[in-house]
Amino acid sequence: MYIYVTAGKEVRRIGVANCNKHKSCLECLTAADPHCGWCHSLQRCTFKDDCVHSESSENWLDISSGPKRCPQIHISRRGKDKATVALVGSVPARRSGCVVRNADTGRELCKGESRPNETCTCSILTAAPYKDVLVVNVTFSFGSWHLSKRFNFANCSSLRECPVCVGAGCAWCRSGRCVHPFTACSPSDSYRNQEPCQAAVERRAPSQTTGGRGFAKSNRTHRGSQVFSVESIEPQKISTLGKRNVVVMGANFTQASHGIVMVLKGTSTCDEDVIQVSQVLNDTHMRFSLPSSRKEMKDVCIQFDGGDCASVGSLSYIALPHCSLLYPATTWISGGQNITIMGRNFDVIDNLIISHELKGNINVSEDCMATYCSFSAPSLKGSKVRTNVTVKLRVQETYLDCGSLQYLEDPRFTGYRVDPEVDTELEVKILKENDNFNISEKDIEITLFHGENKQLNCSFENITRNQDLTTILCKIKGIRTANSIASSSKKVHIKLGNLELDVEQESVASPWYFLIGLPILLVIVIFVAVGVTRHKSKELSRKQSQQLELLESELRKEIRDGFAELQMDKLDVVDSFGTVPFLDYKHFALRTFFPEVKEH
């Protein structure tokens, strides 16, 4: 089908599809282009009108036929003593011939002709002369056109999986070995045929995709006689920033001679990314560096030496991680406490970093799932006792802040007590100063030492915080003579993260000491009481003397003031009576303070 376009004085014919770019039947039909199909007579991908005898449905295969109907040459073990060469798929119903030749010498190994409306087959005995044949050429003839394939058996012994072994034309034995197809397994160690193995291949083959570059339905792809296999890709989720180290696993990677590429095709767009392999690590592992992209699911396939693209599965581009909670937010300076971060998309981070103002960025080992990350707080011994650090997530070269973690002085333990509950159980109470740490069962290990350096592990129960102290309770169960162990206990060894220390038993005062000290205490109290009483008596006398002196001073002042007023009124008295009254200080005082009582 063509479109005719006028350009000036010319009329150009332009095809609505470029079928010629598909080089094989499998690639042609996998592309699912409705205008293209595989023409047997021309052995290429064409329009239906361009295919000779296209009216025959067997001469031209369109997308409705599906890739499974593409003709393929197989070598399989049919019984214990022979290998059979056959053609599977859709071919024209006509007589056909087949021949197998040694590619090195040209010697004919087998030859056959088909019956009417049947496909030619050819069998090769598993005889000793043929075990050294490494490369064979198989040709099927259908009148004017031929179908050929080259098989290389040099690597049969190195193949470790049944589908890969059978796909290369080799034979798979029950012992799990891949052998030359013309070499017999042991009498009891050969599959009658390869049907179970082939069925397994079809079940695990990923579904095909449509449009653009052809994605092979199987995870195996052929290039000449070499069979490449891809099994998985790790990781299967990356951030929208891309990822440098993406590993693909499979088989025979080092056999590729003309390059390996990864093809990414978005499920919501028609865009394709073609990425060259960064490094082939070995025969089963290779590494790619993937670019940034928007959030979407992408289909992934691997192309070896320009052949078919073998599907690996899908790869998800997801949003950057986000932190919602850091718990606990306070830890001790020696480190080792288990810290948990809650959030989302943590399965795409590269590593977790503690950023310190003096020590810089410290990489820490993390255990991350999609919604949480846990890590052990590193030790900051040598830094100031109170310090804050920032927890960061690194994705590629981007650092995401995840909260602040405060470091405080190490916890202080003051002692412990051992109480036998019953004769088979001990209860150990460890006393600690109150602090801001949230200690969990994962953070602490407690060991009780008793007798001649014997030790017992104590199982954590709970932590109780009181007004003055914090009590850590643990129990030792399933023992004998708990009372004896309690009386012979010497110390408790505590491992709190990276902090390890020994705690001595809390001392308990004897009642005899109290009785001896009581009289001494009473004497001291009496002496103190007498001293305080005498001191208060002296203080009272001193205050009374001061008050009397003050009163006398005030009286003298009042007398002087009154006498002065009388003297000032003398002139008034002289003017009134013409005489001078006789007044002196003594009489004035007596009259003032001791007036005569008038008799009635």
The DSSP code sequence of 420-487 is EEETTEEEEEEEEE--S----TTTEEEEEEETTTEEEEEEEEEEEE-SSEEEEEEEEES-S-HHHHHH
- Fold entry, domain 322-400: Immunoglobulin-like (2.60.40)
The residues pairing with 521 across neighbouring beta strands, listed in sequence order, are: none
Q: What pLDDT score was predicted for residue 210?
A: 35
Q: What pLDDT score was predicted for residue 198?
A: 43
* CA angle centred on 218, ends 252 and 66, rounded to 5°: 145
Q: What pLDDT score was predicted for residue 238?
A: 93
Rg of the chain over Cα atoms, rounded to whole angstroms, equals 51
Confidence of residue 321 (pLDDT cuts 50, 70, 90): very high
Q: What is the mean pLDDT of residues 37-43?
A: 83
Amino acid at 591: R
Distance CA 228, CA 167 (A): 9
Q: What is the mean pLDDT of residues 252-272?
A: 81
Confidence of residue 224 (pLDDT cuts 50, 70, 90): very low
Q: What is the mean pLDDT of residues 539-551?
A: 87
Please list, in sequence order, all residues whose beta carbon lies within 8 angstroms of the beta carbon of residue 382, skipping any fewer than 6 positions away.
none
- Fold entry, domain 215-318: Immunoglobulin-like (2.60.40)
Amino acid at 381: K
* CA angle centred on 549, ends 547 and 552, rounded to 5°: 110
Indicate the helix (H) or strand (E) that contains 543. helix 511-568
Distance CA 343, CA 596 (A): 105
Distance CA 203, CA 199 (A): 6
Please list, in sequence order, all residues whose beta carbon lies within 8 angstroms of the beta carbon of residue 359, skipping any fewer than 6 positions away.
380, 383
In this predicted model, what pLDDT tens digit does every residue of 176-195 receive, in sequence order?
A: 788 888 887 765 554 444 44
DSSP 8-state assignment for residue 534 = H
Q: What is the mean pLDDT of residues 301-321?
A: 89
| Maximum average pLDDT range among 68-77, 142-151, 218-227, 274-283 | 274-283
Q: What is the mean pLDDT of residues 184-213?
A: 45
- Fold entry, domain 14-67: ligand-binding face of the semaphorins, domain 2 (3.30.1680)
The torsion angle over the Cα atoms of residues 75, 79, 81 and 87, rounded to 10 degrees, is: -20
Domain ranges of the chain: 14-67, 71-204, 215-318, 322-400, 413-504, 522-600
Q: 182 and 75 in contact (C-beta within 8 Å)?
A: no
Q: What is the 3-state secondary structure (H, E, C) of 20-33?
A: HHCCCHHHHHHCCC
Q: 490 and 436 in contact (C-beta within 8 Å)?
A: no
Among 200-209, 298-307, 497-506, the minimum mean pLDDT is found in 200-209
The residues pairing with 527 across neighbouring beta strands, listed in sequence order, are: none
Q: What pLDDT score was predicted for residue 266?
A: 83
User: Given CA atoms 390, 391, 394, 398 in this order, what sign does their dihedral have?
Assistant: negative
Confidence of residue 305 (pLDDT cuts 50, 70, 90): confident
In this predicted model, what pLDDT tens digit does every residue of 20-35 receive, in sequence order?
A: 888 788 888 877 788 8
- Other CB atoms within 10 A of residue 127 CB: 12
| Residue closest to 189 by CA, chosen among 80, 95, 65, 265 | 80
The residues pairing with 76 across neighbouring beta strands, listed in sequence order, are: 84
In this predicted model, what pLDDT tens digit does every residue of 400-414 receive, in sequence order?
A: 999 999 999 999 999
**Strand boundaries in 8-118, DSSP class E:** 10-15, 37-39, 44-46, 60-61, 72-77, 82-88, 97-102, 108-113
- Fold entry, domain 413-504: Immunoglobulin-like (2.60.40)
Q: Look at the block and give the residue holding tokens 């049907």.
A: 195
Distance CA 72, CA 147 (A): 9
| CATH among 3.30.300.30, 2.60.40.10, 2.60.40.1930, 3.90.1150.10 for 71-204 | 2.60.40.10
Distance CA 38, CA 48 (A): 9
Angle, helix 585-593 to helix 511-568, in steps of 10 degrees: 120
For residues 13 and 414, the model is more confident at 414
Residue 237, pLDDT > 80, answer yes
Residue 474, pLDDT > 50, answer yes
Q: What is the mean pLDDT of residues 493-522?
A: 77
* CA angle centred on 12, ends 8 and 17, rounded to 5°: 145
Query: Same CATH fold, 215-318 and 14-67?
Result: no
Q: What is the mean pLDDT of residues 331-354?
A: 92
pTM: 0.51
Exposure b/e, 556-576, CB count within 10 A at least 16 = b: eeeeeeebeeeeeeeeeeeee
User: Given CA atoms 145, 256, 248, 395 in this order, what sign does their dihedral have?
Assistant: negative
Exposure b/e, 444-475, CB count within 10 A at least 16 = b: bbbbbbbeeeeebebebeebeeeeeebebbbe
Q: How far apart are the first and last CA of the chain?
A: 159
Distance CA 207, CA 67 (A): 12
* CA angle centred on 447, ends 441 and 452, rounded to 5°: 175
